[in-house]
Structure 1
């Protein structure tokens, strides 16, 4: 299809077609779609922050597991303490820098104290909820208990995200 260009001093016709047979619209749109997704995920919108929060949490859990496994020779309580403290400190720093882009607004020590306090509160809430569940439904099966753990952990994670977003960072 020819396109007229009134300001063109020549014939006023663009001889190049709008689409050529060799153009691949799917491939050319993919990098721009990935770029838009990347820009969105780096934004300060709540959903982008939530996605980054979940990713940091997932990597933090992997780090905890690796530390726990590495330190298990010292005993499970020591391994749990080291894994929890180190993975929580790293997660707090990643949340400060990446999840909430707060490195300029919130200092490292403040993030560790407030984020660590929220982690302890989350641990207390989760432990209390599981203990209550054991009293209220003692004969609960393994699958039902696993689902309950997931629901409780998700609720505590949601409260932690909201607290970090609205109060700490």
Structure 2
């Protein structure tokens, strides 16, 4: 009788090496998925993942702002629109747009990997994309850094390279 009950069976055809550990991305995706599911369980009343909507996703993103490390100046702040303010201020810390964008990408993938259909994916809705765009633009304005849409480079040899390198 085996003492390894509940564990995955060993791969007896290999050299005894342990299975490869998940990639950093896969580990982060699993942590994010578990965090989101815990957030839903802590709601009053608890929300099952199958009943989750973009509203719960937006609430989760706002909840995460309290753990953010990116200073986002408010419009009334003296430093609003300055890329490198010379002194501290009382403006709130928020999650950076790039972090939220990556998080949504991982949660979107995890939802479908855990049996959710792409058509009902609450992380893939127009509302979530609009929210991320607003966060990106708002943070850019607060820091005085305009985000411009990059023109797609043409595939005509070096002409496309010249176009993309001139937009800084």
Pairwise same-fold verdict (TM > 0.5): no
> What TM-score do the two structures reach when normalised by structure 2?
0.26
Specify which structure has the bigger relative contact order, considering alpha-carbon pairs within 8 angstroms and separated by 6 or more residues: 2
Based on CA coordinates, which of the two structures has the bigger radius of gyration? Answer: 1
